[in-house]
A = this chain, B = another copy of it.
């Protein structure tokens, strides 16, 4: 029961709601609702391609312009203080891909930092077939 405990407990429900609202607004293409969740100086990172987008206008444009009839569904959202992680299923047509999204909120409850991972399928990197089953 350290000193940081009370703020964390107050922040957590707000962060959890923001993470759900972020996915929901993107799925509905409700860009006004989406923008209202973001800090003006939001930073969006895609570490796999070493890309960064700075600021709400560019990040909104990136999402509006993202190609394909994509859809997002929440598998799991975990919120803890001003940090959250979302495990999403993303669908475009018949294809499906998971995403892991890390979100950080400001003191005011706006999203200031988003880090997206889009893990792609691959073959097992070495033979561990004595231990695993294939799904």
Smallest CB–CB gap between A83 and chain B, Å? 5
User: A32 near B: Cβ within 8 Å?
Assistant: no
Q: Establish whether residues A50 and B135, one from each chain, have CB atoms under 8 Å apart when the complex forms.
A: yes
Interface of A is mostly: mixed
Give the CA-CA distance A115 to B53 in the complex, in Å.
28
Copies of this chain in the oligomer: 2
Cross-interface CB contact of A98 among B77, B87, B117, B120, cutoff 8 Å? B117
Q: Establish whether residues A79 and B80, one from each chain, have CB atoms under 8 Å apart when the complex forms.
A: yes
Residue tally, chain A, CB below 8 Å to B: 48
Cross-interface CB contact of A76 among B45, B61, B102, B134, cutoff 8 Å? B102
Task: Knowing A78-B84, A87-B85 are in contact, say whether A133-B102 is a contact too (CB < 8 A).
Answer: no
One of A21-29, A33-41, A124-132 contacting the partner: A124-132
